[in-house]
């Protein structure tokens, strides 16, 4: 997998520089000559208890992004997924600790426990007052003697940081931080591991699987399972988490995005969380938001914290930090009834054998061409032109007996209504415009070809495409022009075919998805919309 960075050995330092540049002077770092990658508050004056956290990089915005008023005083950043050195942690302690002391908050990983722990002891030997809280909120592995620290750690950051901001002493902050840590419960899941820049991704999780309880560095979880739906996944996770909670208490839930999922997936998963059994004990939510990430890992975690008097106020105190998700009351989704959009007229079904035969021919052509047009569109677009044409045909087919075939103006108007409501995408709107204007034109001059030409003019006006732009218009315009000139259907089909085939030689497009492709992607391939129109004209020659 490709990753944007300069030199692998500089990626963490460069990322810190980028963070500091984005924060408008709020943060400072140790200079580049130092091996210690430490980020500190620019406004810190050592008059309060310092709150320090850190660990391996790759979890951004944690930890450096959480430095600021009401959160962390400083963050010590190791290499990607590697604990910072003892000297780096010690230098951070010496930089920000004052008479009121310092609290270290770390996640329960061996490297962090050892390096931060030794640095704390060295700082104490130098006369500093230092305490440490180790967070192990992972509940995925039952009866684990050393549960891992996960995203719930940020709750400890917030409570400790806010109490420090308010001037509380170290003992008060330590007690509250321990209370938060002891109450935290987190479970995570992902459908793949992460990619460390410059390294190959592990491949232990198959495409149809998800791993429950994997760590935020890609460590193996407790179980790999096949999940068919997001709902099934949440139905598996919720009972595991719920079994660890005191259901008599209100909880705040953090829905943490590990960063590799699409926004669409995250919203679906959050919806399933908020309709699961966990919702009954969730009084407030944070997220969905990426706050403790795992590079590109496509997964998420849910952290549950019971609300207790000793830290609730600090947890809810407002802060200004873009990385901190909004804390908001849990609530059921609300829906409203959309306004009724009345049709412009009542359509009275009527029959005309010739008109019906034309429509049925068009429907049959669109259905039979679905695969061919999709394959062509896969070369120059997103591969769905055939499906779009066929879907519209099926819709019209289902309404054949309701069409006002004996009244051209009404027929065009009803086709416009159907296209605008049911066809979808830009094609649906364009055809709706065409038929709406054809309906108006037919009322003045009851001629099918000239009415459709008037509709085509409106389509070009609003769609922005014209002949030569490599769209369906390259086939539709010459075909209709031949009909209007009285040249007959064979001549019209020939003109439409020449127009469609001509698009294969157009090496640039000025409209549609092909407009984003380079010449070599278009050369030799006809526009699928134009091809579909040409096929319709050709089919009508047999009518």
Helices (H), 408-467: 408-418, 425-444, 448-463
CA distance 419 to 431: 7
Residue 192: Cβ within 10 Å count: 22
Q: Is 101 left (phi over 0), alpha (psi -120 to 50) or beta?
A: left
Peptide bond before residue 191 is cis, with ω within 30 degrees of 0: no
Cβ–Cβ under 8 Å, residues 347 and 412? no
Give the DSSP per-residue string, 288-343.
Answer: EE-SS--TT--EEEEEEEE--HHHHHHHHS----TTSPPEEE-------PPPP---
Reduce the DSSP state of residue 507 to 3 states and report it: coil
DSSP state of 404: B
Specify the pLDDT at position 228.
83
Distance separating alpha carbons of residues 110 and 193, to the nearest angstrom: 21
Collapsing DSSP states into helix, strand and coil, what is residue 68? coil
Cα 453 to Cα 282, 399, 434: the distances in Å are: 60, 25, 9
> How many of the other CB atoms lie within 10 Å of CB of 462?
12
Check residue 271 and give its pLDDT: 96
**Domains and their CATH numbers in the chain:** 8-197+205-329 (3.40.50.10440), 353-540 (1.25.40.340)
Q: Give, in degrees to the nearest 5, the angle at Cα 144 between 138 and 146.
A: 75
Tell which residue, 499, 500, 516, has the closest CA to residue 508: 516
Predicted TM-score (pTM) of this structure:
0.74
Interior/surface letters 295-311, b for 16+ CB within 10 angstroms, e for the rest = bbbbbbbbbbbbeeeeb
Strand, coil or helix: 190: strand
Summarize pLDDT for 50-69 with one digit per residue, the tens: 999 999 999 999 999 999 99
Q: What is the pLDDT of residue 517?
A: 40
β 102-107/130-135 pair status: parallel
Question: If you count them, how many residues does the chain have?
Answer: 543
- Number of Cβ within 10 Å of residue 289's Cβ equals 17
Task: Label residue 259 left, alpha or beta by phi (over 0 means left) and psi (-120 to 50 means alpha).
Answer: left
Alpha-carbon Rg for the chain, nearest whole angstrom, is 32
> In this structure, is the dihedral angle defined by the CA atoms of residues 383, 388, 394 and 398, taken in order, positive or negative?
positive
Model pLDDT, residue 519: 42
Q: Where in the sequence numbering do the catalytic residues fall?
A: 217
Ordered per-residue pLDDT tens for the chain, 543 residues: 578 889 889 999 999 999 999 999 999 999 998 889 999 999 999 999 999 999 999 999 999 999 999 999 999 999 999 999 999 999 999 999 999 999 999 999 999 999 999 999 999 999 999 999 999 999 998 877 889 999 999 999 999 999 999 999 999 999 999 999 999 999 999 998 888 887 777 677 888 888 999 889 888 888 888 888 999 999 999 999 999 999 999 999 999 999 999 999 999 999 999 999 999 999 999 999 999 999 999 999 999 999 999 999 999 999 999 999 999 999 888 889 988 866 556 788 999 999 999 999 999 999 999 999 999 888 867 778 889 889 889 999 999 999 999 999 999 999 998 887 766 567 788 899 999 999 999 999 999 999 999 999 999 999 889 999 889 999 999 999 999 999 999 999 999 999 999 988 886 545 444 443 444 444 667 899 999 999 999 999 986
321 is written with which tokens? 């930090």
Q: Is the peptide bond before 277 cis (omega within 30 degrees of 0)?
A: no
For residue 445, what are its two tokens? 């001059």
């Amino acid at each position: 997998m490709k990753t944007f960075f300069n030199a692998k050995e500089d990626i963490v330092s460069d990322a810190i520089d980028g963070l500091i540049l984005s924060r408008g002077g709020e943060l400072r770092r140790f200079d580049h000559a130092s091996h210690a990658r430490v980020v500190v508050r620019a406004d810190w004056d050592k008059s309060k208890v310092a709150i320090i956290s850190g660990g391996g990089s790759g979890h951004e915005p944690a930890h450096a992004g959480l430095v600021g008023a009401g959160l962390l005083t400083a963050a010590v950043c190791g290499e990607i997924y590697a604990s910072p050195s003892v000297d780096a942690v010690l230098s951070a302690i010496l930089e920000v600790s004052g008479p009121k002391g310092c609290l270290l908050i770390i996640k329960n990983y061996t490297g962090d426990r050892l390096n931060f722990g030794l640095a704390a002891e060295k700082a104490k030997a130098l006369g500093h007052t230092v305490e440490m809280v180790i967070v192990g909120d992972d509940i995925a592995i039952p009866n684990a003697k050393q549960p891992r620290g996960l995203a719930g750690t940020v709750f400890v950051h917030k409570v400790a940081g806010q109490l420090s901001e308010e001037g509380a002493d170290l003992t008060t902050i330590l007690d509250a931080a321990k209370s938060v840590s002891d109450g935290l419960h987190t479970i995570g899941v992902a459908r793949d591991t992460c990619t460390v820049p410059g390294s190959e991704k592990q491949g232990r999780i198959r495409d149809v699987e998800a791993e429950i309880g994997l760590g935020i560095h890609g460590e193996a979880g407790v179980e790999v399972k096949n999940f068919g739906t997001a709902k099934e996944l949440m139905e598996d996770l919720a009972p595991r988490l719920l079994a660890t909670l005191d259901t008599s208490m209100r909880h705040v839930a953090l829905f943490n995005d590990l960063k590799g999922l699409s926004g669409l997936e995250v919203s679906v998963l959050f919806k399933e969380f908020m309709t699961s059994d966990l919702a009954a004990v969730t009084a407030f939510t944070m997220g969905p938001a990426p706050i403790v990430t795992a590079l590109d890992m496509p997964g998420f975690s849910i952290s549950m914290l019971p609300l207790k008097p000793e830290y609730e106020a600090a947890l809810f105190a407002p802060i200004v930090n873009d990385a901190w998700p909004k804390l908001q009351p849990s609530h059921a989704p609300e829906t409203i009834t959309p306004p009724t959009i009345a049709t412009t007229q009542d359509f009275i079904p009527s029959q005309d054998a010739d008109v019906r035969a034309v429509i049925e021919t068009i429907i049959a052509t669109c259905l039979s061409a679905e695969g061919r047009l999709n394959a062509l569109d896969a070369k120059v677009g997103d591969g769905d032109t055939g499906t779009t044409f066929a879907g519209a045909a099926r819709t019209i087919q289902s309404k054949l007996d309701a069409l006002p075939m004996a009244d051209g103006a009404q027929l065009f108007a009803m086709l416009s209504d159907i296209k605008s409501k049911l066809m979808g995408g830009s094609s649906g709107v364009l055809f709706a415009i065409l038929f709406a204007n054809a309906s108006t034109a037919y009322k003045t001059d009851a001629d099918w070809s000239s009415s459709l030409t008037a509709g085509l003019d409106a389509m070009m006006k609003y769609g922005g495409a014209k002949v030569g732009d490599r769209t369906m218009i390259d086939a539709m315009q010459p075909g209709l022009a031949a009909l209007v000139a009285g040249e007959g259907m064979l001549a019209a089909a020939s003109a439409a075919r020449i127009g469609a085939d001509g698009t294969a030689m157009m090496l640039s497009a000025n409209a549609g998805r092909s407009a984003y492709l380079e010449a070599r992607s278009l050369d030799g391939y006809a526009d699928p919309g134009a091809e579909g129109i040409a096929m319709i004209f050709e089919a009508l020659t047999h009518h």
